Amino acid sequence: MASLPSLRPLADDAVRGPARWLASWGRLVVLAAMILVLVLTPSTWRREGRRQVARHIYASTAPSLLWFTLLVALVSLIIIRIVVATALNYGLSQYALEAVIRVLVLELLPLSAPVFVALRYSIPMADGLYARRQQQARQVSADARAAGDGVLEPGTAPALQSVATEFMPRAVAGVFACVMLVAISCVATLMLAYFTVYGFVLSGLPEYTRRVGQVFNASVSLIFTLKTIFFSLAVSLIPLTSSLYDASTRMSRSRVELHGIVRMFAVILLVEVASLVGNYS
């Protein structure tokens, strides 16, 4: 039988585990609130602030916009052809277009674009920010850091100025990239679906518009919009929060990245399940 002293570390871990979990999500909420305040503050959008945000938006969106759109168009065209051909073979052609819209536009594209932005921009950006802050912390003396010279020590709460210059532009850029890629990929897929089903004519546009409108009713449109927003916030804020608060001397860089990835995909999974329940319950 285990003695009382040997059980004490297990009890401490059982108590500290949920406390650390709640603290990590609380820090995420605090950082999101600070970024929201800065976004709504007019002084943030002065010339230098606009320049920083525009630079990060370009870095997060422009390099991958064209080839991501082409890749999505190619995959979507293959899926559309398969669904339409299968529906024709089984005499269910009237349901082919609705199935394409629901599978691709409502589910796959809003999920694939944020995951792509996370792997292409958010996670490498957070890793680079963490490495740069670690390098700054090693170069600056302890007295200068204690005097509040603007260098942010790993694992400490950020000052509002540090959030405005380092975190807010990156978070806004991540959200913008997700929304932009979702919008462009959905529009491209809807156009490909129309041309595949009706051909290069305009006579089928009224019927096509009516069918799309039947799928995108008020509740579905609201769920689609909220899902896209929450996905964008998850892939933009969670890696930043991990690079800020989890970057302690007791945690390696790989462990910090892993914590951020697990949290991010957990939120994405919860949002996706909630959207499925809202759309099909």
Q: How far is residue 44's CA from residue 38's CA, in Å, rounded to a whole number?
A: 6
With respect to residue 83, please indicate whether it lies within any of the assigned structural domains: yes
With respect to residue 28, please indicate whether it lies within any of the assigned structural domains: no
The answer to whether the predicted template modeling score (pTM) of the entire model surpasses 0.75 is yes
With respect to residue 232, please indicate whether it lies within any of the assigned structural domains: yes
Q: Which of 94-103, 149-158, 230-239 has the highest mean pLDDT?
A: 230-239
With respect to residue 60, please indicate whether it lies within any of the assigned structural domains: no
With respect to residue 258, please indicate whether it lies within any of the assigned structural domains: yes
With respect to residue 63, please indicate whether it lies within any of the assigned structural domains: no
With respect to residue 242, please indicate whether it lies within any of the assigned structural domains: yes
* Total structural domains within the chain: 1
- 144-194 pLDDT, tens digit each: 555 554 444 445 555 566 777 788 899 999 999 999 999 999 999 999 999
Q: H/E element holding 172?
A: helix 168-198
- Cβ atoms of 226 and 109 within 8 Å: the answer is no
Please determine, for residue 2, whether its predicted confidence score (pLDDT) is greater than 60.
no
- Cβ atoms of 83 and 147 within 8 Å: the answer is no
Q: Which two tokens stand for residue 169?
A: 């532009």
